Each structure stands twice: as C-alpha cells, then as structure tokens.
Amino acid sequence: MTLTSVSPGELDSNFDAVLDGATGEFKEMYAQSSGELRQLLVDNNAQAEGVVVEAGVKSATTDRVEVLLFIDQTVTNSVVPEPRLDRSRVTMTLELVDGRWLASQVDLP
C-alpha cells in the first residue's frame, strides 16, 4: 500500500505517489507535513512495507466510499534494526474525481 510503504532511497517517489492518489483535506494535510515527515524518516533511516490484509466498505455512494482497512506494516529504522510488525486499522474516505478514486480523508482510530 503506497501510504504505508516507504524506502529511504525512494522517499520522493513515495511522497509523489501518495499525493497523486490524494485530494481535498488529506492531500492538503499530507503536502504540509511531508517535509517534516521526510526529514524524520531520513534521520532515522526508516523503512516500512505495508500490506492490506483485510478491507471492508463502511458506506458507499456513486462518488464517495468509506472503507476500513486492516494493515500489517513491517518497520525497521536505526533504533530498531530488526523488523517489527505493526498492525493498524485505517478508515479511509475516497472520492471519485475525474474518473479516479482518490483518498480525501485518512484516519487512524
């Protein structure tokens, strides 16, 4: 999953991919915080690989859908060099914009 996977050598393309798949409130928030987040990832030599293990639709209309994602994310960094598995729930709202489904809101309950 693009949002939960980062690689030290590909941070710019990781951030570009997230922004390309975003719109509205989420895109604005991510664009504003990505510089600080990027520096934190570089400083800690962080790497993560996220995989959606389950997904469900909470609500849907023809141009908006809210989904609940269960994500397993393997994380390593300079402090914890051995891979650690984080399990997360993410509620994501997607909106149909010019024929593409884009994330407009992302919440980690």
* 18-60 pLDDT tens trace: 999 999 999 999 999 988 998 999 999 999 999 999 999 999 9
What's this model's pTM, rounded to 2 decimal places? 0.87
Query: Average of pLDDT values for 89-97?
Result: 97
The CATH number given to whatever domain includes residue 58 is 3.10.450.50
Q: Which domain holds residue 93?
A: 2-107
Strands 100-107 and 47-60: unpaired
Residue 81 tokens read as 């060099």
Q: Is the torsion defined by CA of 28, 31, 32, 37 positive or negative?
A: positive
Q: What percent of the chain has pLDDT over 70?
A: 99
In this predicted structure, the answer to whether residue 80 has a pLDDT above a threshold of 90 is no
User: Taking 80 as the threshold, does the pLDDT of residue 109 lie above it?
Assistant: no
Question: How many domains does the chain divide into?
Answer: 1
